[in-house]
Amino acid sequence: MSSSVKLLVAAMLVGGMLAAVPAGATATQSDTTLEVVVVDQDGDGIGGATIDATWDGGSRTVTTASNGRAFVDVPEGDDVELNVTAEEYVRNHPLVVTDATSEEVTVDMAPKGRSTIVVQDTNGEPVEDVSVELQQEFRIDVAGETDVTGQFSTGTIEQGEYELTAVKPGFFEETRTITIGEETREEVELERGQVQLEVTAVDDHFAEPRSLEAQVIVSDAGGQLAELTATGGRASLDVDVNNRYTVAVERDGYQRNERTVEVDESPRSVQIATQRVPELTLEPRNERVVVGENTTVRVVNAYDEPVAGAEVTRDNETVGETDGNGELAVPIESTGSQGLQAVQGNLRSDVVAVEGVEPAEGSTLTPTSTSETVGDAPGFGALVALVALAATALLARRR
């Protein structure tokens, strides 16, 4: 067999093997070994510590030897979380090994500690529902709230220095550095406080928002606190520090608008904008129109501004759309009451009745294309014609 034939056969065999591999199949991921060293605050190995290694889709548990070392096989390239527990030592957060390879990893442990945080007000009364946080190096280690006795227990954590923060709506925040030992107690005093909240209500329909006299409603998690009138567009009140409020603005004919306002320990000013409730109004120039003539209708929005492109219907039949001035000449083709309405998007005006009336007896009508020939009284065009005929007859008699 020639070399070229051998190469061809080999290529066919390889191709067949590749074709036999199911779509999406990949090679089995290999393991790597982490050498984990668990040490105390002095760098000495901690024997008998339990290491729980977890990764996406798997886990493994090993125990350190007397020198604090243990070997754990993990998937190569995975991110592995190491949680370590020991009889006398603790670690507040697991150690995460990213993109695991065959390497040595040191896990620092600290002696176990515990603290009880006791919170009181300036009268010595316990304060419940106080948010308590303990953190080291800008990372929160423990968080919780005080109970009805004003106490919060940290549980088992590392001994050492922490930044303690205690805060509750209505009280000034207390922050301090504390040292937690094997069993410690920390007392915290909170002072009540209020600051001013100023609310400005405006109508932002305009290029320059305009002050709006409206009702301002202020609520918190406990319910409504106050309802004030924003005279000249402004209202103010004293509120508790370090709290979250819902501030709403209401006025007849306007949309209710509200926003959430965070108030810390400084006066706060907020602006809440709203606009009129969207609406269309159709205004006919005449309510009684001679049959065969037109009446001009004008369509305006809630701000009495002309609405272009509004569809106008007469007894539910479309007769046209308003122009750039919000106007349309609507022909009145029959006697009796006829309902005119403006429609744009989801908005509809009220139906306005326009009555078609017969022209005066003996008059000759020339239908007009706009309402400019339609006077304030019905049949005004016919009346003009009659007056002209009478004047002509009078002149003829004088001759």
- Tokens 């709290």 — which residue? 243
pLDDT of 246 > 60? The answer is yes
CA-angle at 95, arms to 89 and 98, nearest 5°: 165
In a 10 Å sphere around its CB, with 0-12 CB exposed, 13-18 middle and 19+ buried, how is residue 23 labelled?
Answer: exposed
pLDDT tens-digit readout, 48-72:
999 999 999 999 999 999 999 999 9
Q: Report whether pLDDT(370) > 70.
A: no
Average pLDDT over residues 278-303: 96
* Confidence at residue 308, expressed as pLDDT on a 0 to 100 scale: 98
pLDDT digits (tens, 9 = 90+) for 167-204: 999 999 999 999 999 999 999 999 999 999 999 999 99
Q: Which domains does the chain have, with CATH numbers?
A: 31-111 (2.60.40.1120), 114-190 (2.60.40.1120), 194-274 (2.60.40.10), 281-383 (2.60.40.10)
Pair 216, 235: CB distance under 8 Å: yes
pLDDT band at 387 (very low <50, low <70, confident <90, very high): very low
Q: Residue 29: what pLDDT?
A: 73
Residues 269-295 have a mean pLDDT of 96
Q: Which sign, positive or negative, has the C-alpha torsion 69, 70, 76, 80?
A: negative
Q: In the sheet where 160-167 sits, what is the strand order? A: 139-145, 131-136, 160-167, 174-180
